Amino acid sequence: MHPVLATILKRLGLGVATLFVVSAIIFSSISLLPGDFGEAVLGQAATTETVAAFRKELGLDKPAPVRYLDWVSSVLKGDFGTSFSGRAASGVDRSRSVAELIAPRLKNTLFLAGVTAIIAVPLALLIGLTAALYRNSLYDRGVNALTLTTISMPEFFVAYILILLLSSLWPVFPSLANVDASTEFGERLRRIALPAITLTLVIVAHMMRMTRAAIINLLASPYIEMALLKGASRSEVILKHALPNAWAPIATVIAFNLAYLVVGVVVVEVVFVYPGIGQLMVDSVTARDTPVVQACALIFASTYIVLNLIADVIGIVTNPRLLHPR
Amino acid sequence: MNEAPESYAAAAEVAVVRKRRGRLERIWLALKKAPVSAWFGLIVLSAYIVVALFAPLLAPYGEAEIFPAPFGPWEEAHRFGTDQIGRDIFTRLIYGARNTMGIAFVTTLLSFAIGGGLGLVAAINRSWLDQILSRAVDVLMAIPSLIFALMLLSIFGSTVTSLIVIIAILDSTRVFRLTRAVAINVVVMDYVEAAKLRGEKIGWIMRREILPNIMPPLIAEFGLRFSFVFLTIAALSFLGVGIQPPTADWGSMVRENASLIQFAQYDIKAGLTPLLPAAAIALLTVAVNFVVDWFLHTSSGLKDEH
Amino acid sequence: MSIEHNDVLLEMRNVHIEGFADEQWHPIIKGVDLTLKRGQVLGVIGESGAGKSTLGLAAMGFVRPGCRFTQGTVHFNGTELIALSETEKRAFWGTRIAYVAQSAAAAFNPAHRLIDQTCEATVRAGISSRDESRSDAIALYESLQLPDASNIGERYPHQVSGGQLQRVMTAMAMSSRPDLIIFDEPTTALDVTTQVEVLSAMRKIVEHYGAAAIYITHDLAVVAQMADDIKVLRYGEEVEEAETRVMLESPKEAYTRSLWSVRALEKTEEKGEDIVLSMQGIDAAYGSSKVLHNVSINLPRGKTVAVVGESGSGKSTAARVITGLLPPTAGTVQFNGEALPSGLKSRTQSQLQRIQMIYQMADTAMNPRQTVDEIIGRPLEFYLGLSGAAREQRVLELLTMIELDESFLDRYPSELSGGQKQRVCIARALAAEPDVIICDEVTSALDQIVQEGILQLLLRLQQEFGISYLFITHDIATVKAISDEIVVMYQGEVVEQGLKSDILSPPHPAYTELLLSSVPEMDPDWLSTLLKERA
């Protein structure tokens, strides 16, 4: 087998194994719940029978490995179980399925993250690359100082400064990003402007610094000096000699920051009351609605794992040593 | 140029010799050469530590003392006004320094005790133990730590103890990786091999040969991890699942007073109130970053290429 | 070398270059003049820190990042290079002036095929079309005796060996038929047997096209084969310049003579009967790859056995087996007639004490956070249980033995020169009062004159204390200087062992012959004679 294929398969296998273990960890968290949690969910007034019925519904009467397999197979079918909220001591069940709760919110989150990524990724790469090229120039120093400050700030600080300036003092954008299924695309964009700008500021700072470091590291290679001494111009050195070796580090930087976006989105959604999956997760944590928390955690974790997997695969397929084995 | 090789003397070979100085003198010398940003960071950091240590002496009121007027304006009695249930914001900012920083510091210490210890062991004993630990850390790091923390907090509840333990364990994965990586670089050195050949015990090798050589990066990492832990706890508190009321804490203070920002048009001071604790958080992390930056610069002797 | 040297190609006048370190500018080149005529090959020789690479690059009007020209001029073909803008300089680089770097493995871009990199500058400058320049590259590969010349260019850098890469780089430099080539230590990273092939290929092609060249190296014997004239540099200044033969026969400056001081050293061999240490039928492997095959070596008491071989010969692995770091898969190590336990952990403290080791890189062999006192004192505490005044007294004695004084006690390794570091390592080994010291390439990283000092010291200590050395090296001059007996190793096997005079005089087994004949001699005709003999 070609070494590239072998390495990719190995990496994919590792990814699947990680996903498997992560899902097991997330699943087993429900077993860690305190024993009386049936009562906690259903309320003090719940009868012994309703609690027993609830436990049975959760499958707590079956052994853990069986429950895990049941859970995994239903998750693979898109069924994340039923939310705890809406249950009552009387046994009347007004709860909704987790999938139903999550689906619209996941779309919203993907929209916000997508818009941010489209702006942030090219911007960060451009700034990082130019800062590396003109390093120690006034531009580079300025950008560096600015980004060092930005990465030190919590997301909600950036968010509230933006609200203060662009919503309270000079009302340009709304401070609440309340959208629903009927909101039109243009209006949707206007409403998510502030959360998207907040996320962009934070991501660009991180990403630009990492890009700059990766490029500077690359430019220190002896083969870059050799290219210069063969008379290559600056742009030729970058495009022809540095870039073909830069895909792996750049892919890693992008994946790392998109993964960071996944986490940043939680706080930003709460600040702007944006109906996304991050806010849902926080609400469910407060309400101790474990099935929803598990589903959200699984979605966040898989996104994270898949992003890193993609970066590694890009690194593998652009590595000349693997592409052209001895 | 006319030196005869016969006149060669080993002791006369040219080498750079530093002047012997005491520890304090060296620190002072390093400080004198420190850039403005480092000075700024050090001053801010010391101010925060003083405030945290002497919070009860500095604060005008009690931590959870309630006054009749909620959302009171900035005035002489309440320098930064009062919050949604009428507690003095200035007082709570001061106590917040103690609580938020204290909890973050304890968490970072615990995280280093776990991650640093295991990382060192894994670096020296490159066998099944290293394999198991490294794979476990890979898996833990495959889940974004804020998400993992949220999930665990939903199970164990948001007490200070569970907050500290959960974040310390999640964060120790990064400490483990760094310690292991740095220690492995030292373990392969000939001087460690020489100590093994001499027959030295593993404890001596760890303490005398390895530890002194991995301290500088670990100290710098402590600063960075502290500010990361600090930001994570602030974020969790902001989300309402971190440090719980009535304990004063900067993250929750932002959340509690957030609605005031709507009134910025009418009273800019009211609008700024929720930004005060947020700015306190940001200022501390900026300060820590500046100090760590300078420390890395001076301790490693590594400089950005020109 | 019968080219007419008339018109001047390169004229460097009063060149000063500074480098930035520790927050200030330090001089690297302090006013060097250099004149090179068309077709002339000038060797520039110097030890570490002489500024020879910086000078070579300066001939192109180039300084590395963090360095700057402060004074002087570089006229190439009448054009002053330093004053030109980067874009204007680029018109010369890769076309009129070419550069051959020390480490070919790092200087080739891993992402491109060799032939594309070979032709890059020529095609860019429009000197020839892509097809023309490719067929020319193949012709160059052929004349550089590269195997499979018509296809080797289709490969990537990591797919060919170091010696081949260095020749491809010479082809790359030659592709545009430059007026001047700068060779920056092009054979330093190669084994001697490979070095001969590369040297002869480079010399042939430079002569054939009549290019002028600056050949930078630290090895006089190598430069003698390549250069018409030699310039000696030290601390960024010129020591002297002369025609090659004149320089070798009668150098004006004592410093120049010190550049081959190790060659002047030769121990009179003595035969030893009492074997202190012996490896018997040792096989060893790293994982599944076998690196030693049935190795047997005997070390007589109070004598030196030099183990010679090129990289990959297994000579350092043999040392690891003796010390117990790598337990052998077969065979035994006997010490004073008793078999040593194979693993380090099962050896007694006194067994460990009797065999000490000194490393090639003194830098990494000493803990940077311990003072000289701690480094030398530790074996005294550990093995001999000395403490307090007795320990202090002994540390001072040891310092005196290695010709250092008490002012070194509280220095850290970073405050020692290369030679002083190696001396402290020797003192640390001596402190254990061993019977055997294993020296693993202990002088390879040092300048000639410092090497000589270390070798003299080792010889003296052997006479005084009767220590036996197992001396691992790849350098034949060092072997002559220090050994009584020689072991030749090749690909994990012992080719032969015997008294120095027996091994060094013919007849030889084939590999020993190849190895010995490949070592450059201080004779400008050595390479020509050798090639004639081999042909």
Tell me how close the Cα of B184 comes to any Cα of chain C, in angstroms: 14
- Cα torsion through C32, C36, C41, C42, rounded to 10: -10
Tell me how close the Cα of B97 comes to any Cα of chain C, in angstroms: 37
pLDDT of residue B2: 39
Structure tokens at B80: 């930064």
Listed by number, the residues of chain B in 214-243 with a beta carbon closer than 8 Å to a beta carbon of chain A are 227, 231, 234-235, 238-241
Is-contact C306 C313, C-beta < 8 A?
no
- Cα–Cα distance for residue pair B279/B286, rounded to 1 Å: 10
Does A241 touch chain C if contact means CB atoms closer than 8 Å? yes
- CB burial of C323-360 (b: ≥16 within 10 Å; e: otherwise) equals bbebebeebbbebeeeebebebeebeeebbbbbbbbbb
Tell me how close the Cα of C312 comes to any Cα of chain A, in angstroms: 19
Which one-letter DSSP state was computed for residue C313?
A: S
Which chain C residues are closer than 8 Å to A230 by Cβ?
A: 93-94, 98-99, 120-121, 172
- Cα–Cα distance for residue pair B289/C207, rounded to 1 Å: 59
Tell me how close the Cα of B25 comes to any Cα of chain C, in angstroms: 17
Sign of the Cα pseudo-torsion (B127, B128, B132, B138, in order): positive
- What pTM, to 2 d.p., does this model score? 0.82
Structure tokens at C506: 């013919």
List of domains in chain A = 3-76 (no CATH), 99-308 (1.10.3720.10)
- Which among C255, C402, C419 is the nearest to B13, CB-wise? C419
Count Cβ atoms below 10 Å from residue A30 Cβ, excluding itself: 20
- Cα–Cα distance for residue pair C440/C357, rounded to 1 Å: 8
Q: Which of B228, B222, B233, B225 is nearest to B96 (CA)?
A: B233
Which chain A residues are closer than 8 Å to C121 by Cβ?
A: 230-232
Cβ A229–C60 below 8 Å, yes or no?
yes
- Cα–Cα distance for residue pair C174/C194, rounded to 1 Å: 20
Tell me how close the Cα of C100 comes to any Cα of chain A, in angstroms: 9
Does A218 touch chain C if contact means CB atoms closer than 8 Å? no
Which chain B residues are closer than 8 Å to C66 by Cβ?
A: 305-306
Does A162 touch chain B if contact means CB atoms closer than 8 Å? no
Q: Which of A30, A25, A5, A33 is nearest to A302 (CA)?
A: A25
Tell me how close the Cα of C199 comes to any Cα of chain B, in angstroms: 30
Which chain B residues are closer than 8 Å to C349 by Cβ?
A: 199
Q: Which chains touch B (3 or more CB pairs under 8 A)?
A: A, C
Is-contact A248 A194, C-beta < 8 A?
no
Cβ A227–C106 below 8 Å, yes or no?
no
Which H, E and C letters describe chain A, residue by residue?
CCHHHHHHHHHHHHHHHHHHHHHHHHHHHHHHCCCCHHHHHHCCCCCHHHHHHHHHHHCCCCCHHHHHHHHHHHHHCCCCCECCCCECCCCCECCCEHHHHHHHHHHHHHHHHHHHHHHHHHHHHHHHHHHHHCCCCHHHHHHHHHHHHHHCCCHHHHHHHHHHHHHHHCCCCCCCCCCCCCCCHHHHHHHCHHHHHHHHHHHHHHHHHHHHHHHHHHHCCHHHHHHHHCCCCHHHHHHHHHHHHCHHHHHHHHHHHHHHHHHHHHHHHHHCCCCCHHHHHHHHHHHCCHHHHHHHHHHHHHHHHHHHHHHHHHHHHCCHHHHCCC
Q: Which residue of C has its CA nearest to A225?
A: C107
**CB-neighbour burial class of residue A293 (10 A; exposed 0-12, middle 13-18, buried 19+):** buried
Cβ B3–C361 below 8 Å, yes or no?
no
- Cα–Cα distance for residue pair B150/A286, rounded to 1 Å: 9
| pLDDT (tens place) for every residue of chain A, 326 residues total | 788 888 899 989 988 888 888 888 888 876 666 555 555 566 666 677 777 777 676 666 677 778 788 888 888 887 777 777 666 555 555 567 888 888 889 999 999 999 999 999 999 999 998 888 887 788 988 898 888 888 888 888 888 889 888 887 888 888 887 887 777 888 888 888 999 999 999 899 988 988 888 888 888 889 999 999 999 988 888 888 988 888 888 888 888 888 888 778 888 999 998 999 988 988 888 887 878 888 888 888 888 889 889 988 998 888 888 888 77
- Cα–Cα distance for residue pair C169/C78, rounded to 1 Å: 27
Q: Which residue of A has its CA nearest to B306?
A: A136
Sign of the Cα pseudo-torsion (C516, C446, C396, C323, in order): negative
Does B45 touch chain A if contact means CB atoms closer than 8 Å? no
Query: Going by DSSP bridges, is the β-strand pair C330-335/C338-339 parallel, antiparallel, or unpaired?
Result: antiparallel
Cβ A231–C93 below 8 Å, yes or no?
yes
Cβ A156–B254 below 8 Å, yes or no?
yes
Which H, E and C letters describe chain B, residue by residue?
CCCCHHHCCHHHCCCCCCCCCCHHHHHHHHHHHCCHHHHHHHHHHHHHHHHHHCHHHHCCCCCCCECCCCCCCCCCCCCCCECCCCEEHHHHHHHHHHHHHHHHHHHHHHHHHHHHHHHHHHHHCCCHHHHHHHHHHHHHHCCCHHHHHHHHHHHHCCCHHHHHHHHHHHHHHHHHHHHHHHHHHHHCCHHHHHHHHHCCCHHHHHHHHHHHHHHHHHHHHHHHHHHHHHHHHHHHHHCCCCCCCCCCCHHHHHHHHHHHHHHCCCCHHHHHCCHHHHHHHHHHHHHHHHHHHHHHHHHHCCCCCC
pLDDT tens digits, B207-264: 899 999 998 889 888 998 998 999 999 999 998 888 887 888 898 888 888 888 877 7
pLDDT tens digits, B262-278: 777 777 777 788 888 98
Which chain B residues are closer than 8 Å to A168 by Cβ?
A: 261-265, 271
| pLDDT (tens place) for every residue of chain C, 535 residues total | 444 446 899 999 999 999 887 778 889 999 999 999 998 999 999 887 888 999 999 999 999 888 899 999 999 998 999 999 989 999 999 999 999 998 888 899 999 999 999 999 999 998 889 999 999 999 999 988 888 999 999 999 999 988 899 999 999 999 999 999 999 988 888 888 888 988 988 898 888 888 999 999 988 889 999 999 999 999 899 999 999 999 888 888 888 888 888 888 888 888 888 999 999 999 999 888 899 999 999 999 999 999 999 888 999 999 999 999 999 999 999 999 899 998 888 999 999 999 999 998 888 999 999 999 999 999 999 999 999 999 999 999 999 999 998 889 989 998 888 889 999 999 999 999 999 999 999 998 888 888 999 999 999 999 999 999 999 999 888 999 999 999 999 999 999 999 999 999 888 899 999 999 999 888 889 999 998 888 7
